[in-house]
Structure 1
Amino acid sequence: MTTLSNKTSETPRPVVGALLRTARRNRDLTLQELSSLADLSVGYLSQVERDIATPSLGSLSRLAAALELELGHFISIPNTRGLTTSAKDRETIRVREGGMTYQQLHGEFVGASFSAFLITLPAGFTTETDQHFGEEFIEVRSGRVIFEIDGQTYDLEAGDTLHFRSDLRHQARNPENFDAVVFWLGNGPTFQQRAEIAAVATDE
């Protein structure tokens, strides 16, 4: 079984829902207004604020940008600013306990146009339904993942790949009772502040 990371922080994770609700209210935004800014439905945002739904890293990045916050306001993210990452030292990014985990593979530099992660989907986990600009490439490294893309079903096992436009409604689920690991490559809004982060790094 492929393991995502051998380095996991022991620091308790923040409750995303409470942080999101506080940040929204501090900016005097209604759920409808935040929905328009982040291009996410009101019903979905309500579920996230009540910790019923777990946002993907991409959706959380869009919410952070809409609220003029850094992604690190909601979750702990690795301080990766170089061109390489070490397999033995990579940290795991987790939005919420029990949700997907992400291991960052891409480097950081001004003008970078895509992000890459190893993503683990827990047993029985179903992602949110998403739709945004960009495109995505998936390779299943272990386990099985079923993708629903624009009404079509794609049942993938280890070694299978999938490449699709992100503006098509898409969702993924792990139907098995064990984790699935996928390699994800995309140029959508996963890290909207990457260019700014890299620019700051070059100035230090």
Structure 2
Amino acid sequence: MSLGQKIGRLRQERGLTLQEVSEGSGLTPSFLSRLERDKVNISVANLRKLAQFFSVQMTHFFEGEDDQQLGQVVRVADRVRLSLDDAPVQVFSLLPPNSDLDARLIEAYPGSSQQGFSSRGSQMVHVLAGHVRYTLGEEQYDLAPGDTLFFRDDTAYSWTNTGHSIATMLTVSTLNPRDER
């Protein structure tokens, strides 16, 4: 896999647009598009910008898939933060970028909420701490520590931390078969 393909794959696995990567890295969307299609070369300084944006080591872009071990550990200190540092909802990726699953740890302040649309396949939400109200279409589910909610793709959802303390959730999503590489 070429360097450009690896960058494009990483962007897609994170669910980011070229514009979002552009804004976070300072590189233009047109340059990023040409880079992903292997139409231009990248300087070390610009590759460093992308590595910082994606929170990976620069060597990540040069590691061959054949070089990977059977298991991969993502240490707490190496988790990729998918949210702004001061956001009321903190989201951390729990798996390496080449995974066929998407697993996230979500920490939400009391009263914080989020909405989304599940288009990646099936999704599971497990509440580790706190109280959360999930809304799927017209249905509402009040979840407490230890509760697990499962729903399928193509579902609009929202949730709110209804408790008085930080709610911590584990979410795991499968890839939608039509999105597989």
Moved more, 158-167 or 70-79: 70-79
Q: Secondary structure at the match of 2:15?
A: helix
**2:83 corresponding residue in structure 1:** 94
Number of residues of Structure 1 aligned to a counterpart in Structure 2: 129
Aligned residues of 1:140 and 1:182 also touching (Cα < 8 A): yes
**1:137 is aligned to 2:137:** no
Question: Judging changes above 3 Å, is the alpha-carbon distance between structure 1 residues 137 and 88 closer, same or farther for their aligned structure 2 residues?
Answer: same
CA offsets, 1:171-198, max 9 Å, x none?
1110123210001111359xx9xx8xxx
Residue 55 (structure 2) aligned to one of 78, 96, 99: 78
**1:154 is aligned to 2:137:** no
Q: Say which structure, 1 or 2, has more relative contact order (CA 8 Å, 6+ apart).
A: 1
Aligned residues of 2:120 and 2:173 also touching (Cα < 8 A): no
Question: Judging changes above 3 Å, is the alpha-carbon distance between structure 1 residues 188 and 73 closer, same or farther for their aligned structure 2 residues?
Answer: farther
Calculate percent identity across the aligned residue pairs: 19
The structural deviation recorded for 1:168 is: 1.5
Residue 155 (structure 2) aligned to one of 168, 180, 191: 168
Correspondences of 1:87-126 after superposition (within 5 Å): 87-90=76-79, 92-95=81-84, 97-109=86-98, 112-126=99-113
CA offsets, 1:155-180, max 9 Å, x none?
10100001101311111110123210
CA offsets, 1:102-141, max 9 Å, x none?
22211233xx321111111121011124353422111100
**Distance of 2:153 and 2:159 partners within structure 1:** 13
Aligned residues of 2:21 and 2:53 also touching (Cα < 8 A): no
Question: Judging changes above 3 Å, is the alpha-carbon distance between structure 1 residues 129 and 102 closer, same or farther for their aligned structure 2 residues?
Answer: closer
The structural deviation recorded for 1:100 is: 1.5
Task: Name whichever structure is richer in helix by fraction.
Answer: 2
Structure 1 counterpart of 2:83, which letter? Answer: R
CA offsets, 1:5-60, max 9 Å, x none?
xxxxxxxxxxxxxxxxxxxxxxxxxxxxxxxxxxxxxxxxxxxxxxxxxxxxx9x8
Aligned residues of 1:124 and 1:173 also touching (Cα < 8 A): yes
Gaps of 5+ in 2: 1-11, 27-51, 61-67
Aligned residues of 1:98 and 1:122 also touching (Cα < 8 A): no
Structure 1 counterpart of 2:132, which letter? Answer: V
Name the larger-Rg structure.
Answer: 2
TM-score calculated relative to the size of structure 2: 0.58
Task: Name whichever structure is richer in strand by fraction.
Answer: 2
